[in-house]
Amino acid sequence: EPEVTQTPSHQVTQMGQEVILRCVPISNHLYFYWYRQILGQKVEFLVSFYNNEISEKSEIFDDQFSVERPDGSNFTLKIRSTKLEDSAMYFCASSGGRLGNTIYFGEGSWLTVV
Amino acid sequence: QKEVEQNSGPLSVPEGAIASLNCTYSDRGSQSFFWYRQYSGKSPELIMSIYSNGDKEDGRFTAQLNKASQYVSLLIRDSQPSDSATYLCAKNAGNNRKLIWGLGTSLAVNP
């Protein structure tokens, strides 16, 4: 069964450092997403990406965040200068072309900022 | 008002019983609803999606949607200890593809 894969599974970084989280969405999907979940809190939408551009972003997704699809398979989330409050599980997800299509999640990348 | 609300629980049921999980939402324009299961430290895993009023059954799971009352529920029949997890209710609305999530209900199935 096709799946969304994410790397790394866990990363510890110092405050102020740049972090890149990588994702390979399901191959025939057209919409890509990043969500995050701070420990004990609800899952929060960060950004959606379609046709090589951001289609929607949340208030959380400020100038410190960026996304890129550098080739036909990878989808990355970059945090330019990490803060302690960026510590969370970051989930990449993808969905097909129809509205309401199921969104499939990767296993997540734990980011710990110290 | 929160967009998606769930009772955080924990909900505790004995093995073999029916577990009933509820979710309410605030936006009448919401069209698609999803139940995800999340084990501790893991990613959400889709259990059911429902788009129309009424019931939708899949194995031991039944999702129920009532758009007039703005609630969606999930019934788990013959609950198993392996069903112990947090159940997340999510919705998307209109043309938005993003999911809006509830905090989740923690379910414990006791052997």
Could A56 and B98 be called an inter-chain contact, meaning their C-beta atoms sit closer than 8 Å?
Answer: yes
- For residue A35, the one-letter residue type is Y
3 state SS of B83 = helix
Could A48 and B97 be called an inter-chain contact, meaning their C-beta atoms sit closer than 8 Å?
Answer: yes
Per-residue model confidence (pLDDT) at position A73: 85
Please, are residues A4 and A24 in contact by the beta-carbon 8 Å criterion? yes
In the structure encoding, which two tokens stand for residue B34, read together?
């999803």
Statement: residue B1 has pLDDT above 70? no
DSSP string computed for A52-110: TEEEEE-TT--TTEEEE--SSS-EEEEESS--GGG-EEEEEEEE-SSTTPPPEE---EE
For chain A, the average pLDDT equals 92
Closest of A49, A95, A103 to residue A75, by C-alpha: A49
Return the residue of B nearest to A107 by Cα.
B43
Statement: residue A1 has pLDDT above 80? no
pLDDT tens by residue, B7-24: 888 999 999 999 999 999
Per-residue model confidence (pLDDT) at position B10: 92
B42, B95, B98 ranked by CB distance to A33: nearest? B98
Could B98 and A104 be called an inter-chain contact, meaning their C-beta atoms sit closer than 8 Å?
Answer: no
Average pLDDT over residues A8-34: 95
pLDDT tens by residue, B88-99: 999 986 565 789
pLDDT tens by residue, A33-89: 999 999 999 999 999 998 889 999 999 999 999 999 988 789 999 999 999 999 999
Statement: residue B75 has pLDDT above 90? yes
Residues 6+ apart with CB under 8 A from A61: A46, A47
